[in-house]
Amino acid sequence: MSVAAPELPAGTLRVRRRPDAWLLAAGAIAGLVLLPLLALAWTAAQGSDAWPHVAAHVLPQAARNTLWLLLGVGSLAIAIGTGSAWLVTAYDFPGRRIMAWALLLPLAVPTYIVAYAYLDLLHPLGPVQGAIRGVLGFEGPREFRLPDIRGLAGCIVLLGLVLYPYVYITTRAMFMTQAAGLLDAARSLGAGRTALFTRVALPLARPAIAVGAALALLETLGDIGASEFLGVQTLTVSVYTTWVTRSDLPGAAQIALSMLAVVVALLALERYGRRRERYAATMRPRPMQPVPLGGMSRWGALTLAALPVLLGFVAPAGYLAVESMQRLADGAGVPPMLWRSAWNTVRVALLATLATLVAGLVLAWALRLAQARRRTSVATAALRIGGLGYALPGTVLAIGLLLPLAWFDDAANVLLRAIGQEPRMLLMGSVGALVLAYVLRFLVIAAGGIEAGFARIAPSLDQAARSLGAAPRRVLARVHLPLLRPALAAAALLVFVDTMKELPATLLLRPLGFETLATWLYADAARGAYEDGALAALLIVLAGLLPVILLARTGLRYGREVAP
C-alpha cells in the first residue's frame, strides 16, 4: 500500500531547489574575482632577476612617495570634504543650495585629466602665469615664474581637489541625519560654532569620514596618469614601468603584491570607521536646521564653499572647453582617429556595462533568495568577494589577469590544433580581456546598487508570488525587475562612465593599436601635445557629469525626504 506524501504549499519545492543554482553562479563569479589575486601570487613566486635592483633602488623611493601621497591627499580630502559638508549643512548663506550639489562636480574630472589641464594652465608660458606677469609688469618667465607644479606637493593638491567629494558625500549624509537634539543641547549649554563642530558633530561623523577617506585613498593608490604626468614615482607607476619598460612581469607582480598590503590596510581603516555606524542612532533623528549667517560671514561662507568647485572643476573643465573651441575655430577639425577612439570607448563601455549588470544581478539575487531561506553566509561572502575588484588598482588587476588569460588561450589552442585550426590568441590582447577587467573592477558598483534596490522591495511581495506558484526566476522577471529599473539604470550609468574613464587597466590590457579616449589623452600628454588632447579630455569630463548629476539629484531628493 502506497502512502501519499503530504501536500506542500505551491512553489515550496522550487524555492528549496532553485536558489542552489543561483548560489553556484554567485560563487563562480566570486571565484573569478579571486582568480587574478591567486595568479598574481603565482607570478610573483616565479622570481625576478631584477628584483634585487628593484627592491634596493626602486621600491623604497616609490613606497615613500606613495605613503606621503596617501597621507597628503587623505588629509586634504578630509579637510575640504568635512569642512564643506558642515558648511552647507549647518549654515544658511546665499547660494547654499547650489553649492550643496556643485561640490560634487570635481568627481566628473578624472585625476589624470585635472593634472593634464593644470600642467598647461600653470605652465610658465601658460595663461595663468602670463596674466600674473601682465598685472605685475614683468615681461617674461625669466623675470617671474611660479613654482613648478610637477612634484609630490603639486600631486597632493591636485588629487585632493578632485577626490574630496568622496568624503563630502558620506559626511554630509551623516550630518543631515544625525540627531539634531544633541546639537540643540550643546547650543543650550553655551557651545559656540567651533565647539559645536569639533566636540559634537565631528565625533559623530568619524565613521562617515573614515569611509569617504578610504575611498579617496583607494583612488589615489590606483592613479597612474596624474602621478606620471607630475613626475611622482609611486608604486602604481613602478608596476607599469617594471612591466612595460623593463619587460619584467614577475617583478611587476612582486611590487603589486606590496600594493595589496596597502589596500588591505585601507580596507581595514574603512571597516574600523564603520564598526559603530549605528551608535549615533540611539534616538529618532531630527534633520538639522541650518543657521542663517549675516554680514560678511555669509559671503565668506559662499567663498569657502565655491573655492573647491572653482579649482577642482571649473578651472580644468573651462580650460578644456576653451582649448577645444579654439582648436575647432582654427580649422584643425577633429582627427578621424579620435572618432574611432570615441567609438571604441563607447563600444567597450556598453559591453562591460551589460556584463557587469548581469553579474551584479546574480550576486544580489542570490543574496535575496538566501535571505528568504535564512542562510546568507555563502551569498554574503560571494557579494563581499565580488567587491574586492574595486579595491584593486587597475594595474594590479591587469597584472593578475595576464596568467589566467594565457592559461585560457593555451587550453583553447590545444582544442584548435585538435580540429586542425591554427593556434592564435583569443583573449590575451583582446576586447574580451578589457571587458573582463572592467567587469571585475566595477562589479561592486552594480551589485551594491542592485542590492540597495532589492532592500526597498518588501519581502511580502516574494512570499505572495511564491504562494501563487511562481518560481524564483518568474518572481525575478515579473516582480523584481520592473521595480528595480531605477536601481539598474543608476548602476548602469555609473559603471558606463567609470569604464570610459578607466586608464591603468586599459593601458595594460588593450589590443595592439586599440585606442580609447583615455589612452588617446594619455598619449598626447606623454608627448607634451596638450592642445591635441583637449577635445578627448572634454568628452570624458562631459560623460563624467552624468553620474554626478544623478548623485546630486539623489542627494536633493533625500534632503527633501528627511525635511520636516
Q: pLDDT at position 272, please?
A: 65
State which of 167-176, 328-337, 433-442, 503-512 shows the largest mean pLDDT. 433-442
388 contact partners, CB below 8 Å, separation of at least 6? 33, 34, 37
Q: How confident is the model at residue 271 (pLDDT cuts 50, 70, 90)?
A: low
| Cβ within 8 Å of residue 57, ≥6 positions away | none
Would the pLDDT of 264 be above 60? yes
* pLDDT at res. 537: 84
Statement: residue 331 has pLDDT above 80: no
DSSP tag of 197: I
Reported as a single tens digit per residue, the pLDDT across 183-228 is 666 666 666 666 677 767 777 778 778 878 888 888 888 888 888 8
**Other beta carbons within 10 Å of 523:** 16
pLDDT tens-digit profile of 414-439? 888 888 777 777 788 788 889 999 99
More confident residue, 138 or 515: 515
Instruction: Give the tens place of pLDDT for each residue, 20-79.
Output: 677 788 778 888 888 888 888 888 887 777 777 777 777 888 889 999 999 999 999 999
End-to-end CA distance of the chain: 70
The residue type at 46: Q
Q: What is the pLDDT of residues 100-122, one digit of tens each?
A: 888 988 888 888 888 888 988 88
Secondary structure element (H or E) that encloses residue 292, with its range: strand 291-292
Name which residue leads in pLDDT, 363 or 283.
363
Q: Which domains does the chain have, with CATH numbers?
A: 13-46+334-416+423-526 (1.10.3720.10)
CA distance 236 to 249: 14
Cβ–Cβ < 8 Å for 117, 316: yes
